[in-house]
Structure 1
Amino acid sequence: MTLQQQIVGNAMQMAVCSLQPGQTVYCEAGKFLFKTSNVTMETRLSGPGAQRDGGAGGGGGGMGGLLRQAMGTAMQVGQRVLAGESLAFQYFTSTGGEGTVGFAGVLPGEMRALELDGTHAWFAEKDAFVAAESTVEFGIAFAGARQGMSGGEGFVLEKFTGRGTVIIAGAGNFIDLNPAEFGGRIEVDTGCIVAFEEGVRYGVQRIGGLNRQGIMNAVFGGEGLSLATLEGDGRVILQSMTLEGLANALKKAEGGDKQGPTGGLFSTNVG
């Protein structure tokens, strides 16, 4: 059953989903906006994949089945805790007639509906996920090895598999690129990646070294010495604004930036 949805708005978009009787969508905590009264809401620790496995997995019911389901849920929750994600999901189901439910991201920017056909997965940066059909499985993937972790971006990825619609959000405006159209590889600010298709290889490389140019990049570039690399043939979605850039802009607008463009390295205290 295809999810009927419409993305509305400009500066901060919203997704308005129309649910058929019995149809279910889920979201992370903090992404829900509104619903009609014929849509029920339930909070669960488990993702949709665990729910299906628990009901139809090998070994049937009984204590063994319950134990396997509990262990699967605990592993999912543990992964999300490690990734800094929401502990629970909120599920919305239409119980009579067509129901409506609305979702939004947490930052001003665009939203996008991705259609999964079951042949390949999508990966998204942490916190990009807004909502999805219950036929889409949510997982946590890790990429970029230790470089990604030390770079502060791109190590933890959200993974979506199965069939159905996934709605993601980002900051600013989106642009779609394919590395295959640029010689097979593009290098991106780690904070600009929103999502990419399976088949695109993700990595993190360090640029510069402990030389004059490397130090100047670190001091004045504001993003450290790491770039994300995306290689292969597949769709990549980038955002025009990074979280760090948005935070710095808000800080300056509030008059709280007393350190200048170098982030305090050469700042002096006044008064």
Structure 2
Amino acid sequence: MNNHEIDYELFGDDMQFVQVELDPKETVIAEAGSLMMMDDGIKLETVFGDGSSRGSGGLMGKLLGAGKRVLTGESLFMTTFTNEAHGKKHVSFASPYPGKIIPMDLSEMNGKIICQKDAFLAAAKGVSVGIELQRKLGTGFFGGEGFIMQKLEGDGMAFVHAGGTIYKKTLAPGELIRIDTGCLVAMTGDVDYNIELVGGVKTALFGGEGLFLATLRGPGTVWVQSLPFSRLASRVFAAMPQNGGSKGESGLGSMFDFLGGDRD
């Protein structure tokens, strides 16, 4: 094992968090802002990129690796949590919105997973968090989630978060599945990924599914989410009163309006 070998436990149902158990000197890396709680004796440190030694190439290599993360919409920095105590310690990371946390053992997936740019939550130290550039320009310009996706490489545990219910599908060689680009969470590195134009002008303009769909061809494994955060956010935004939404469920505000009360 090149990565730190960590144990973990998932808690919750729709608003999950993962508790990672660290032996002395073991380290886990995570996105900034994902920490929920940690035991005394764990040292927190901010590092460039993912902190892995793979292909570091000195300072310039670290700067290049951190700069690549900016292309995926992430921060230049990540946070490492190291157990500096003598006994086992725990650190927990929480989901950013309702959904599920997917544990992935990269050693069982040929050492590589490709996921949407905001799906990564945490991983054992040594897992490399980089970018995956799609081969075809059409995928890049019209792929919805963008042609730049995150790439997790190594042989340790990684934790990915997605919204709603998660569906895991194993594709047979040559088997094809079409997915809304926002619903694609992750896939193994052997899946062939592309974008296709939705047929028909009326379907594209009025079908409500956008102009393009992701096509994934096996062999490989694909993870799909039922509620992308972008879809959830757009519904919430549309329901806000200032955007034309109903005020009927605004609680005490509606009661004051009904009684003619003065809120000032």
Is 2:107 the partner of 1:117?
yes
Match of 2:11 in 1: 8
Q: Does the 8 Å contact 1:143/1:154 carry over to 2?
A: no
The offset of 1:106, in angstroms, is 1.6
- For the pair 1:155 / 2:147, whether they are aligned, the reply is yes
Cα pair 1:154 1:190 within 8 Å, conserved: no
Which residue of structure 2 lines up, in the alignment, with residue 166 of structure 1?
Answer: 158
Task: Give the CA deviation at 1:203.
Answer: 0.9
Aligned identity (percent) is 33
Which residue number in structure 2 is paired with residue 262 of structure 1?
none
Provide the C-alpha distance between the structure 1 equivalents of 2:90 and 2:33, rounded to a whole number of angstroms: 18
Contact 1:19-1:94 within 8 A present in 2 as well: yes
Match of 1:238 in 2: 224
Unaligned runs of 5+ in 1: 55-67, 260-271
1:225 maps to amino acid: L
Q: What letter corresponds to residue 17 of structure 1 in structure 2?
A: V
SS of match in other structure, 1:153 = coil
How far off is 1:253 after superposition?
3.4
Q: Is the 8 A contact 1:21 1:95 kept in 2?
A: yes
Question: Could you report, residue by residue, the CA deviation over 1:228-260 in whole angstroms, capped at 9, with x for unpaired residues?
Answer: 01112111110001233201221233235439x
**22, 28, 33: which is aligned to 1:19?**
22
Aligned residues: 240
Q: Which residue of 2 aligns with 1:186?
A: 177
Unpaired stretches in structure 2, ≥5 consecutive residues = 246-264
Give the counterpart letter for 1:44 in structure 2: V
CA RMSD of superposed structures (Å): 2.1
**In 1, distance between residues paired with 2:179 and 2:146?**
11
Are 1:201 and 2:192 matched, yes or no? yes
TM-score by length of 1: 0.82
**For the Cα contact (< 8 Å) 2:198–2:211, is it kept in 1?**
yes
How far has the Cα of 1:154 moved from its partner? 4.2
**Which amino acid is the alignment partner of residue 174 of structure 1?**
I
Q: 1:88 to 1:171 in 2, by over 3 A?
A: same
Paired residue secondary structure (2:172): helix
Conserved? CA contact 2:29–2:124, under 8 Å: yes
